[in-house]
Amino acid sequence: MSIRKLLTFTTGLTLGAVSADYLLVKKYYNVNYCYENAEHDLLGTFSQRNPSEPSLCGIDHYRTFIELPKDGSFTIDQLANSFFSNPLFRTQTRILDSQVTSEQQVDECKFDIGDKVSEFKVIEKNQNEIMFRSSDGYLLWLKLANESNKKVQLNFGSSMMSDSPHAKLPPVVDKIILNLHFLYARYLLAFTKKQFTSKFVKQ
């Protein structure tokens, strides 16, 4: 992904998005920023567990909930499936000429360590969490928690390695892209929530 393509995409994304953000994402989909930064989870402890890796350039973490119509429990594989098959992520990969994985390929993926989806490779996984890494130094993290038989929690976080090409942008450009990323990340989780509900939550 070139810096020019990244700038083009993120600039276009802002058109009309800011005004709709509060009502659509924060109120309707109830996606909120988590200030604890998942410090005890796979993403938050990545640098501690991998001291030889480049440091992380900050962490963002978003959370939402699904109220279930009846008792049920879900898996981290279902959340990963919903993330990579949601329409917004698939549109992003097409616009940026990333490696596009078909919805059938996503459905067939077991999300085991070493598996690849789009340009992201599974690097860590446990019962409730999964983390992906791209070739250009991005980390994606998902966590699912069955809070009760009637409520499930969905988490999405991301970070960037300090040796990533995009970590070396001029400060002004970096700040603009970072703010746009925060906006886009909320939409990604909102679309993931919608996809998760339609594919796996039986009414």
The dihedral region occupied by 174, where left means phi > 0, alpha psi between -120 and 50, and beta the remainder, is alpha
pLDDT of the residue at 29 = 63
Tell me the average pLDDT across 172-183: 67
Q: Which CATH number fits domain 3-200: 3.30.530, 3.30.1760, 3.90.550, 3.40.630?
A: 3.30.530
pTM: 0.80
pLDDT tens digit sequence for 128-175: 999 999 888 889 999 998 877 778 899 999 888 877 766 666 666 666
Q: What is the mean pLDDT of the chain?
A: 79
- β-sheet with 138-148: strand ranges across: 32-33, 56-67, 151-161, 138-148, 129-134, 120-125, 116-117
